[in-house]
Amino acid sequence: MTAQPHTAAAIPEAELHERIVKYLSQQLPGATDLRLEGIQRIAVGWSHETWLFDAYWQEAGTARNLGLCLRRDPGGTLLRHLSDLDVQFQVLRCLEPTPVPTPKPYWFESDPDVLGAPFLVMEKVPGVCPSPWGREGRRFYEDAAARGELPLSFTDTLAALHNLDWEAAGLSFLGVPGAGNDFARREVAKWRELISVCEQPPDPVMTDLLCWLDANAPETERLVLVHGAYRTGNFLVEDDRVTALLDWELQVIGDPMYDVAYVLSELNREGSELLSYVVDRDTFYSRYESATGIEIDDEVCRYYQLLYAMRSAAFWMSASGLYAAGRSADLRLARTAWSVPTVLERAARDLGY
């Protein structure tokens, strides 16, 4: 049996472009001679498929154009049980009038007949998004850190996110945790669910980690909008400023230390003194605390760093499970089977064994 790369209908790239033109023409009444230019397909394989392009058209005798980004849900991807394009679209809509820099969302289409799978169309925001996992990307962030602007913008953007009045922005639909340690326990339960759908035999170290996380869930004093993966590589940068926060796949109403712990995590700065390869610890602490009035609690961050370790292991279990089940033909996913013990070993050391 041949493994299928994904469950979305396989549509040749040229036909897909034609279908996008047809769809956009329907969304832009009065548009004629619509065409796409500069089409780039990026971020192939791991999560949602993404295309960037410029749409040009005529409207009432005037030439118009719009830079667009289209994300399609290929189905059967990583985080497939946690991430939904419809939710992403709603979150972007809620964030549009707020100080949090995000791409303007235009359309969400749930009908798989249009492009073979549900998709959303949003603004193509100017900026670059180098991956911090490669040498070039790290150099980009370290050079920007030396110039001094990006570390401040990085910190200010997180502060803006955590200062957001999420209720007023209409984000309560994400689910509001109860008092006490409800948030942390909900998060653990959510990832337990992902692990259970991986249908892999239980791993005793993972079981210990999950039980420890449940037993030691901290109380949340202030609820904020948490991005869930706030680090370099998940936002666009132009002129040393964050122009758009991307990857709205794991956002949740919860503890601000959840995001702060991710910034502090060694997983996101291997071999660098700079948090997330871009900001020094003192600058981040003082600027974040002063902008939000939230004191960073190192002990709570330690808890969330262990939760991230569990999340990473669950993520790799899900990835390798997709390959093993024949739902992906991408060998990078198969490789992640051996990332599970590596992440769990680090968590075990943090737990003292």
Residue 344 C-beta: closest distance to other proteins, Å: 7
Site for other proteins in 274-313 (CB under 8 A): none
Nearer residue to other proteins within complex by CB, 172 or 342: 342
H or E segment to which residue 233 belongs: none
Q: Which segment (104-112, 121-129, 246-254, 343-351) binds other proteins by CB under 8 A?
A: 343-351
Binding letters toward other proteins, positions 319-338, x by CB under 8 A: -----------xxx-xx-xx
With binding defined as CB under 8 A, does residue 164 bind other proteins? no
Q: How far is the CB of 39 from other proteins (least distance, A)?
A: 17
Name the residue type at position 62.
T
Tokens coding 229: 């993966």
Q: Which stretch binds other proteins (CB under 8 A): 137-145, 207-215, 246-254, 258-266?
A: 207-215
Q: Which is nearer to other proteins, 58 or 342 (CB)?
A: 342
Report how far residue 300's alpha carbon sits from residue 316's, in angstroms, rounded to the nearest whole number: 24
Q: How far is CA 324 from CA 262, 270, 286, in A?
A: 29, 29, 46
Locate 69 and state its tokens: 């980004």
Query: Largest Cα–Cα distance in the chain?
Result: 71
252 vs 174: CA distance, rounded Å: 6
Q: How far is CA 97 from the centre of its chain?
A: 20
Q: Which is nearer to other proteins, 122 or 319 (CB)?
A: 319
Q: Residue 44 CB, nearest distance to other proteins (Å)?
A: 7
The verdict on 41 binding other proteins (CB under 8 A) reads no
Nearest Cα to Cα of residue 122 among 77, 90, 155, 159? 90
Q: Is 344 in the site for other proteins (CB under 8 A)?
A: yes
The two counts, helices (H) then strands (E), for the chain are 12, 9
- Is 84 a binding residue for other proteins by CB under 8 A? The answer is no
State which of residues 203, 245, 267, 273 lies at the interface with other proteins (CB under 8 A).
203
List the structure tokens of 118: 């549900």
Question: Is residue 10 at the binding interface for other proteins, with CB under 8 A as the rule?
Answer: no
Nearest CA among 189, 161, 188, 186 for reference residue 256: 161
Nearer to other proteins, 156 or 214 (CB): 214
Angle subtended at Cα 108 by Cα 104 and Cα 109, rounded to the nearest 5 degrees: 155
Residue 1 sits in the site that holds other proteins (CB under 8 A): no
Contact call for residue 137 and other proteins (CB under 8 A): no
* 237, 129 Cβ separation under 8 angstroms: yes
Cβ within 8 Å of residue 143, ≥6 positions away: none
Q: Are strands 62-72 and 224-226 parallel, antiparallel or unpaired?
A: unpaired
**196 sits near other proteins (criterion: CB under 8 A):** no
Angle at 279 between CA 220 and CA 184, to 5 degrees: 15
Closest CB to other proteins among residues 223, 351: 351
Considering only 42, 44, 168, 189, the residue that binds other proteins (CB under 8 A) is 44
Q: Considering the complex, what minimum distance in angstroms separates the CB of residue 211 from other proteins?
A: 4
Instruction: Report d(CA 227, CA 97) in Å as an integer.
Output: 17
Which one among 180, 211, 273, 293 touches other proteins, defined by CB under 8 A?
211
- Report the residue from 215, 271, 282, 299 that binds other proteins according to the rule CB under 8 A: 215
Q: Answer yes or no whether residue 222 interacts with other proteins by CB under 8 A.
A: no
Residue whose tokens read 């609820």 = 223
Binder among 65, 110, 172, 207 for other proteins (CB under 8 A): 207
Q: Which residue ranges make up the site for other proteins (CB under 8 A)?
A: 44, 201-205, 207-208, 211-212, 214-215, 330-332, 334-335, 337-342, 344-345, 348, 351, 353
